[in-house]
Amino acid sequence: MSLIPGVDESDGSPSCFTHVTESRGTINTPYFPRNYPSNVDCVYEFLRLSEDTCGVRMRALTFDLEPSITTALGGACSDFFHVVGGCGFLCGNVKFVWIAKFQPGATSLKFHFHSDERHSRSGFQIAFEQISDCS
């Protein structure tokens, strides 16, 4: 039994998976607006509504993850949000509006949230809308 709504802990490691079939709405970290749990990996899979749908417009309503850290190789995120298969990771406290595009022929688009074993923050709430004009 999971202590976190929407999170499966049956194998001993927290993970969560959300199928998003709505044209618009919000996604958020577990427990939002309370702090998200440590050691969690969440996938938000947006199922493409039609062939006319070209992407998902995302707008941060609240975005508060651990800030990036400096390493010998540059900055790095320990807790992050990103498009699966894409480059770039979002962390820290940021405001954004961004369009993530479906790949040609793809039926879904996945986003990944990861938290490490250390500190946690309030997390995120992101408004989304599947769109047909990605220009």
For residue 4, what pLDDT band results from cuts at 50, 70 and 90? very low
The domain of 91 spans: 23-131
For residue 72, what pLDDT band results from cuts at 50, 70 and 90? confident
**Token code pair at residue 19:** 């199928």
Distance (Å, whole) CA 7 – CA 123? 15
2 in a structural domain: no
| pTM for this prediction | 0.85
Question: Has residue 36 got a pLDDT over 90?
Answer: yes
79-105 confidence digits (pLDDT tens): 999 999 887 899 999 999 999 999 999
CATH of the domain at 125: 2.60.120.290
28 in a structural domain: yes
The total number of structural domains in the chain stands at 1
